[in-house]
């Protein structure tokens, strides 16, 4: 954990023009700089850098932010890693937050395990190149499979001789503790109590984390005819290695995945390596395990588009289909490519160059839903029971797609392919939605709804983002981040004493008065923190939230500040070209009043709808209660409308 003071120093030191210039050729234009956007392909520059604000933004794809965000996006680093990157560039010593004793203990254990893995990786590489057995057996094996030396280097491939304990002896002699040799799984104890190498007699593939550290290994036997031994041996799960959260090749693939906005998914180490060698670098492997949610989330950080490559083996395809449903569930766009009969990605890549490879993909890729329907349809043929199974299987796949528009397109297509009425499919999908609800018994909803992520808002479950009130909520948060600490007006008491009121205080009071809160949890956190900080001397909301240690908050704040929109220009027709800052005393009350008005309006609408549902109509008690509330709200609405007079018109 980096402490807040250090974060501030890093953000202050990082010159946006300098940071961006390392990756983008910039030209001066007026007070700003402009260049070709590094995040999408373009011929005319739309990437603008403002040294005054310390911000950059692409006016075409919208990416950008402050120097930290730029590095996060460009280098595909976490917030923490990006800060460390900039600290190094500007020679700022990082003061990390003091860790607790347990944290320290856990950290040293983890670090030691990574250190041992690093040592092992280097050891196996050296053996491959320098040891006689390494080159006659290990290197010969890779060469025979057509793997070039530069690729062997890049993926840090290695070899472990078959002496059983050669690595264990070397590591112990070098002073590496047995504890960590065992906990990383590099070695194990035999029943006789001997310390043996897990990977003896195998070529070794190190598995890298997203940031390039070696987290585990996979070892393959050289002679596949040896039936006594498993073909592959992998590091066991450990304090640092959780198989379900790692993807083979992700470290080497992440930048290309972003650039091409797509990721290829294959099965094995050699598939990834062969594809890299052919020039296709945006590829990862689930390494034999079926795809997990953790792995999917890892890919999803970089792209929305995934293409799964299959060899033609139908059994293998059927086994992996479950994992693909999970990709759909994550809202990813999934395509499938079937390779020519007898080829796997490894052999196919060895025969083709990147251009041919891409051409084959684009000619042969099929949408997953279409692919699955056809695959199962062939199998079901005229067997009615199998057909029924197929339909319910497709319904399951369709029901997990989070986007309702995408879903309805597929429903239409499936109904045609399967010769089933569209209505029937929709009905079946609706049943799927109800299932988890019925189990938990918490939802009051009777209508089938899409499995969208639960709205985190206990106070008014009726409200939905995208409604009018939500736009006001965003404008209030924007003005709060830009001007929160500024004095917008004075309150006078009976003795004539004036108390200054800041934007933050005003907003907090206004919401409290009517027992309202923001809909978006991030907005609620920003308001709560602003209220807590307002009396801290030297506090400025903009700076505080832009350098916030939570990247979600800092990113949102940057976007809000970056947005050049000035409310004043819009609402006060240029008679007085005043800035928002000069008009806070008018703007802020106007926004909060309109926010409230929109919420009241929304609630009235929901009550009107509720009053038409048969369930309510047949329940006089509920009906009366709703009518009562409706009348109250109507009165409030009339009062507010009078006070508002001229209402703020929402920006488009």
Residues that bind Zn ion (CB under 5 A): 37, 39-40, 58, 60-61
Nearest CA among 179, 222, 359 for reference residue 279: 359
Closest approach of Zn ion to the CB of residue 74, in Å: 11
DSSP string, 226-277: -TTS-SEEEPPP-SS--GGG--BTHHHHHHHHHHHT-EEEESSHHHHHHHHH
> Which residue, 38 or 219, is less far from Zn ion as judged by CB?
38
Nearest CA among 304, 309, 261, 259 for reference residue 284: 309
Show the tokens assigned to 141.
Answer: 């094996």
Closest approach of Zn ion to the CB of residue 254, in Å: 18
> Which residue, 302 or 506, is less far from Zn ion as judged by CB?
302
At which residue do the structure tokens 């590489």 appear? Answer: 125
> Which residue, 7 or 26, is less far from Zn ion as judged by CB?
26
The residues near 487 (Cβ < 8 Å, ≥ 6 apart) are 500, 501, 502
Reduced to 3 states (helix: H, G, I; strand: E, B; else coil), residue 109 is: helix
Q: Using H for helix, E for strand and C for coil, what is the string for 561-604?
A: HHCCCCHHHHHCCCCCCCCCHHHHHHHHHHHHHHHHHHHHHHHH
Check residue 164 and give left, alpha or beta (phi > 0: left; psi -120 to 50: alpha).
left
Closest approach of Zn ion to the CB of residue 73, in Å: 10
Closest approach of Zn ion to the CB of residue 259, in Å: 12
> Which residue, 46 or 293, is less far from Zn ion as judged by CB?
46
Closest approach of Zn ion to the CB of residue 189, in Å: 55
The residue count for the chain: 652
> Which residue, 61 or 366, is less far from Zn ion as judged by CB?
61
Closest approach of Zn ion to the CB of residue 42, in Å: 7
Closest approach of Zn ion to the CB of residue 299, in Å: 21
- N-terminal to C-terminal alpha carbon distance within the chain: 41
> Which residue, 37 or 481, is less far from Zn ion as judged by CB?
37
Closest approach of Zn ion to the CB of residue 355, in Å: 25
Closest approach of Zn ion to the CB of residue 41, in Å: 9
At which residue do the structure tokens 């029937």 appear? Answer: 424
Closest approach of Zn ion to the CB of residue 576, in Å: 36
> Which residue, 209 or 256, is less far from Zn ion as judged by CB?
256
Distance CA 291, CA 287 (A): 9
Closest approach of Zn ion to the CB of residue 62, in Å: 7
Cα dihedral 447, 451, 457, 463 sign: negative
Looking only at Cα atoms, what is the longest distance across the chain? Answer: 97
Closest approach of Zn ion to the CB of residue 482, in Å: 24
Phi, psi at 232, each rounded to 5°: -120, 140
Closest approach of Zn ion to the CB of residue 64, in Å: 8
> Which residue, 74 or 352, is less far from Zn ion as judged by CB?
74
> Which residue, 45 or 218, is less far from Zn ion as judged by CB?
45
> Which residue, 58 or 283, is less far from Zn ion as judged by CB?
58
> Which residue, 53 or 585, is less far from Zn ion as judged by CB?
53
Is-contact 184 237, C-beta < 8 A? no
Is-contact 215 240, C-beta < 8 A? yes
Strand 305-310 vs strand 333-338: parallel, antiparallel, or unpaired?
Answer: parallel
Cα dihedral 273, 274, 278, 284 sign: negative
The C-alpha R_g of the chain, in whole angstroms, comes to: 30
Distance CA 400, CA 409 (A): 14
Distance CA 532, CA 542 (A): 15
> Which residue, 256 or 637, is less far from Zn ion as judged by CB?
256
Sort 120 into a burial class: Cβ within 10 Å, 0-12 / 13-18 / 19+: buried
Distance CA 236, CA 216 (A): 8
> Which residue, 64 or 218, is less far from Zn ion as judged by CB?
64
Is-contact 572 585, C-beta < 8 A? no
Distance CA 447, CA 436 (A): 14
């Amino acid at each position: 954990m980096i402490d807040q003071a250090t974060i501030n120093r890093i953000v202050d030191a990082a010159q946006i023009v300098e940071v961006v210039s390392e990756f983008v050729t910039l030209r001066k234009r007026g007070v700003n700089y402009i260049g070709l956007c590094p995040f999408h392909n373009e011929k005319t520059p739309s990437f603008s850098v403002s040294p005054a604000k310390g911000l950059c933004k692409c006016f075409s794809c919208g990416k950008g932010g402050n120097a930290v965000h730029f590095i996060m996006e460009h280098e595909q680093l976490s917030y923490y890693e990006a800060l460390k990157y900039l600290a190094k560039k500007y020679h700022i010593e990082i003061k990390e937050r003091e860790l607790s004793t347990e944290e320290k203990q856990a950290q040293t254990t983890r670090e030691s395990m990574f250190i041992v893995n690093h040592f092992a990786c280097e050891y196996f590489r050296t053996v491959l190149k320098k040891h006689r057995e390494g080159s006659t057996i290990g290197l010969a094996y890779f060469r025979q499979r057509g793997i070039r030396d530069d690729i062997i280097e890049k993926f840090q491939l290695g070899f472990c001789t078959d002496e059983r304990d050669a690595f264990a002896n070397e590591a112990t002699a070098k002073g590496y503790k047995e504890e960590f040799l065992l906990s990383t799984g590099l070695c194990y104890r035999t029943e006789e109590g001997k310390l043996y190498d897990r990977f003896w007699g195998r070529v070794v593939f190190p598995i890298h984390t997203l940031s390039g550290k070696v987290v585990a290994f996979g070892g393959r036997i050289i002679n596949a005819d040896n039936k006594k031994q498993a073909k592959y041996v992998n590091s066991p799960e450990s304090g640092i290695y959780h198989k379900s959260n790692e993807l083979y090749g992700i470290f080497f693939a992440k930048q290309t995945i972003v650039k091409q906005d797509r990721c290829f998914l294959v099965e094995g180490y050699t598939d990834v390596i062969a594809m890299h060698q052919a020039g296709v670098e945006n590829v990862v492997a689930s390494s034999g395990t079926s795809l997990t949610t953790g792995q999917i989330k890892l890919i999803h950080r970089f792209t929305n588009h995934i293409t799964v490559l299959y060899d033609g083996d139908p059994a293998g395809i059927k086994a992996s289909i479950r994992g693909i449903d999970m990709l759909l569930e994550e809202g990813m766009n999934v395509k499938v490519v079937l390779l020519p009969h007898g080829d796997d990605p490894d052999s196919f890549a060895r025969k083709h160059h990147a251009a041919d490879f891409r051409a084959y993909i684009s000619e042969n890729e099929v949408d997953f839903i279409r692919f699955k329907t056809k695959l199962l349809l062939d199998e079901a043929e005229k067997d009615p029971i199998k057909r029924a199974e197929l339909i319910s299987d497709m319904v399951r796949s369709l029901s997990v797609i989070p986007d309702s528009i995408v879903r309805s397109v597929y429903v239409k297509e499936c109904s045609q392919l399967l010769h089933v009425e569209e209505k029937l499919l929709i009905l079946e999908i609706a049943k799927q939605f109800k299932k988890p609800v019925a189990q938990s018994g918490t939802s009051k909803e009777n209508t089938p709804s899409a499995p969208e992520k639960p709205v985190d808002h206990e106070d008014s479950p009726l409200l939905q983002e995208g409604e009018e009130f939500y736009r006001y909520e965003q404008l209030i948060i924007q003005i709060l981040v830009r001007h929160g600490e500024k004095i917008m007006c004075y309150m006078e008491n009976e003795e004539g004493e004036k108390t200054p009121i800041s934007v933050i205080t005003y907003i907090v009071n206004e919401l409290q008065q009517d027992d309202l809160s923001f809909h978006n949890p991030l907005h609620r956190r920003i308001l709560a923190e602003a209220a807590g900080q307002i009396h801290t001397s030297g506090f400025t909301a903009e700076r505080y939230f832009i350098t916030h240690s939570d990247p979600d908050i800092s990113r949102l704040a940057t976007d809000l500040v970056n947005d050049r929109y000035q409310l004043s220009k819009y609402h006060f027709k240029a008679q007085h070209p005043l800035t928002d800052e000069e008009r806070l005393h008018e703007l802020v009350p106007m926004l909060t009043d309109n926010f409230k008005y929109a919420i009241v309006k929304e609630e009235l609408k929901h009550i009107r709808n509720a009053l038409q549902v048969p369930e309510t109509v047949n329940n006089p008690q509920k009906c009366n209660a709703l009518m009562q509330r409706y009348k109250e709200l109507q009165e409030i609405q009339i009062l507010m409308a009078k006070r508002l007079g001229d209402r703020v018109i929402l920006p488009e």
